[in-house]
Amino acid sequence: MSSLPVMRAHAGISGGWRGARPTETPAFAGVTEWLWGLALALLTLLASPAQALIFPAFTGLVVDQANILPADRKAALEQKLEAFQQKTGRQLVVATVNSLEGDDIQDYGYQLGRSWGVGLKGANNGTILLIAPNERKMGIETGPGIQGLLTDAYTGVIINSKIRPAFKAGDLPGGIDAGVDAIIEILSMPDDQAHAKEAAAVAAWDKQNKRSSGGGVPGALIFWLIVIAWVVFAGFLRRARHGQRYGGSNWPIWLWAADSIINSRSSGSGWGGGSSWSSGGSSDSSGGGWMGGGFTGGGGGSFDGGGSSGSW
């Protein structure tokens, strides 16, 4: 979808370019066309699927953008949520937003969850209680890893029986508290299978967290070091036998290799590939790992659109 304006720009620019140089030979025009094509292809690759929605920053387990919680209630709620994460390894986030930007709440919610990385990567055990007071909409977004306990039907029950009555009476903080309590209650129940998966994900998160603060060695870097060492070594051998004939000719190769390293790291392939670490979770914020208490940021959890929503 993002390629359409690019293609239009293509037509416009190349037309103007040709118009400005009427003496161009056809062969040269072909080359320019090809170059434009290449540049635009690269642009299209860079232009990732348009992130239409703008989300608030993930600053804590309670993100009260719409400002409906008094400071003391917010602090108490944050404590409750941090204790829940410490106890179970699952992450529950309360988010209030000023606007859904015209989107459906369930659609907004799952994208918010993915963008923040609520829950742990692999275990996908995050939950979001999302409130949009201006649109009078509320929703519970569940990660696939906890849907065995917190089913869609049960999120519907929580919304209908705990949250909506309080919201209808105008008591937003009370409704949020009641909803959070109900979610925590069901998610604190034992579920062996889910717990085993979560334990593994917690260990992985803690390990990765430590590593990123200590500065690990990416696999791609090792690979390229070996390649460079090989080239340098071979170059020395050759130089020892044939004198300076090929001196300095390896530079382009090194530049290329260095460029590849930079690219491979920035695109996130190889080491730690693809975990949504941009979402927060600075490595030294808690010092105690995922279940050590305090705000850890997101763990790269994903969402599949499960949960339910309603209005009041």
107 binding another protein? (CB under 8 A): yes
Phi, psi torsion values for 169, nearest 5 degrees: -80, 0
| Full DSSP string of 84-97 | HHHHHS-EEEEEE-
| Full DSSP string of 16-42 | HHHHH-TT--HHHHHHHHHHHHHHHHH
> Cα(124)–Cα(142) distance, rounded to whole angstroms?
9
Residues 141, 307 contacting (CB under 8 angstroms): yes
Q: Which stretch binds another protein (CB under 8 A): 62-70, 71-79, 228-236, 278-286?
A: 228-236
Size of the site for another protein (CB under 8 A): 31
Closer residue to another protein (CB): 90 or 164: 164
Helix (H, G, I), strand (E, B), or coil: what is residue 240? helix
Residues with Cβ within 8 Å of 85's Cβ and at least 6 positions away in sequence, in order, are 61, 91, 92, 290, 291, 293, 296
Closer residue to another protein (CB): 28 or 230: 230
135 binding another protein? (CB under 8 A): no
* Least spacing, CB of residue 32 vs another protein, in Å: 15
> Cα(279)–Cα(295) distance, rounded to whole angstroms?
13
Residues 91, 298 contacting (CB under 8 angstroms): yes
260 binding another protein? (CB under 8 A): yes
Closer residue to another protein (CB): 108 or 205: 108
Closer residue to another protein (CB): 200 or 253: 253
User: How many beta carbons lie within 10 A of that of residue 216, not counting itself?
Assistant: 14
Closer residue to another protein (CB): 191 or 304: 304
Q: Which stretch binds another protein (CB under 8 A): 16-24, 149-157, 188-196, 211-219?
A: 149-157
Phi, psi torsion values for 122, nearest 5 degrees: 95, -50
Closer residue to another protein (CB): 85 or 279: 279
Residues 90, 98 contacting (CB under 8 angstroms): no
39 binding another protein? (CB under 8 A): no
Closer residue to another protein (CB): 74 or 162: 162
Binding mask 2-21 for another protein (x = CB under 8 A): -x------------------
Instruction: Return the residue of 41, 196, 203, 232 that touches another protein, per CB under 8 A.
Output: 41
Closer residue to another protein (CB): 104 or 181: 104
Binding mask 19-38 for another protein (x = CB under 8 A): ------------------xx
308 binding another protein? (CB under 8 A): yes
* Least spacing, CB of residue 41 vs another protein, in Å: 4
231 binding another protein? (CB under 8 A): yes
Task: State which of positions 160-199 bind another protein (CB under 8 A).
Answer: 160
Closer residue to another protein (CB): 29 or 231: 231
Residues of the shown chain interacting with another protein in the complex, contacts defined by CB under 8 A: 3, 37-38, 41, 44-45, 49, 106-107, 110, 151-153, 155-156, 160, 227, 230-231, 234, 238, 253, 260, 303-310
